[in-house]
Structure 1
């Protein structure tokens, strides 16, 4: 699915941290990276809190989040190139110096980039996503990626529209092809196609039962006879 980088500029303040955590949860949910929410929220909290503590309240900060290959990258930009985060051995009961230690514990790697007039503190988390070059079913996976994007942003056309364009056999073949592509996509991303099919079948049967339950009274309603 499409995972376009995004950025947000704000003023450093403790109240912003909670909002940033909610934003990270929402964005990672849209990207299908639910399993990284806790680690990503912790990293954002600590990186922004580090700016608040060592650079100061009211500092203009930019949060940049992107997916690079198989890694989720989180960057925090601020204008102070002197206050460089460092990894220190903080005591267990210490309230200071633990921020970057926590980031170091959950992130695969992190670092600091110094530019003219700004610094970038970044960290990366492994997403578990297979790179495109490793997707053994290339064309099918790419088609499934496109279908996922379309499905997420548009509503399916009414059945009459499909019927006007395709006869029954062609429509059935198109559905089979789409399902096959999605199975390739699931396998390429480390999912179990059989398990997903079972869940889909269970959901389908449940929806059918609900539909029949709501329509059965109308069908079975006794007809009043006229005298």
Structure 2
């Protein structure tokens, strides 16, 4: 697998790969690792299964060794998975029987995902699906507490409408500004802001490892 790119405050992950069995296994592992970074490891089993089906369809219907890209995106309360390949042929959902292997992957996709679909792109097509974000109890409480803090911060600045309220973009921007304000506070109190950031990162990583 050539590598990955994580952007937008870790809310989007791009994973290019080739449709071969060894790459599919690496893709599953990379998916679980990314969900772990987002604090949504509880959703990894379902996500890995769907990623396997999406990648296997490229192997079967586009060709072994075909170049493709998986995009993972954290969208509010859902994880979205998009599989991009260079074939313009859209998949079709049809009746599947026990003796018929064709089309069963799509039935699994439709059964497990909250929503799914396929669209043509400039380079070929994209098949996508979305599943609910699941958190461990501790991660869930921390997530809810962070949202509450950010919403109160937005209200204090009178910027809820401008920043997008509870939208991911609005909350992410507020998080950046809140962290900047906290660094100003630590400096004014005589603390080293780099030391505070290092300690926060260490605290986060220790809790993430223990989750």
Q: TM-score, normalised by structure 2?
A: 0.62
CA distance in structure 2 between the partners assigned to 1:53 and 1:33 by the alignment? 30
What is aligned with 1:97?
A: 103
Contact 2:43-2:134 at 8 Å conserved across structures:
no
**1:152–1:7 distance in 2 versus 1, CA, 3 Å:** farther
| Aligned residues between the structures | 152
CA distance in structure 1 between the partners assigned to 2:198 and 2:92 by the alignment? 44
What is aligned with 1:116?
A: 122
Find out whether 1:28 has 2:35 as its counterpart: yes
What is aligned with 1:12?
A: 19
**C-alpha RMSD of matched pairs (Å):** 3.3
1:63-74 equivalences in 2 (<5 Å):
63-74=70-81
Structure 1: give runs of 5+ residues left out of the alignment.
Answer: 157-227
**1:107–1:155 distance in 2 versus 1, CA, 3 Å:** closer
After superposition, give the CA deviation of every residue in 1:204-224 in whole Å (9 maximum; x if it has no partner). Answer: xxxxxxxxxxxxxxxxxxxxx
**1:47–1:152 distance in 2 versus 1, CA, 3 Å:** farther
After superposition, give the CA deviation of every residue in 1:45-80 in whole Å (9 maximum; x if it has no partner). Answer: 001111110111121101111111221010110011
What is aligned with 1:44?
A: 51
CA distance in structure 2 between the partners assigned to 1:150 and 1:26 by the alignment? 22
**1:151–1:105 distance in 2 versus 1, CA, 3 Å:** farther
What is aligned with 2:93?
A: 87
SS at match of 2:68: strand
Find out whether 1:153 has 2:160 as its counterpart: no
Q: TM-score, normalised by structure 1?
A: 0.58
* Runs (4+) off by over 2 Å: 92-96, 128-132, 135-143, 149-156
1:114-153 equivalences in 2 (<5 Å):
114-127=120-133, 135-137=147-149, 138-139=151-152, 153=201
**1:52–1:153 distance in 2 versus 1, CA, 3 Å:** same
After superposition, give the CA deviation of every residue in 1:109-138 in whole Å (9 maximum; x if it has no partner). Answer: 001111223211110111158999xx4553
After superposition, give the CA deviation of every residue in 1:80-105 in whole Å (9 maximum; x if it has no partner). Answer: 10x21121221134333211111111
**1:152–1:34 distance in 2 versus 1, CA, 3 Å:** farther
**1:51–1:136 distance in 2 versus 1, CA, 3 Å:** same
Contact 1:42-1:103 at 8 Å conserved across structures:
no
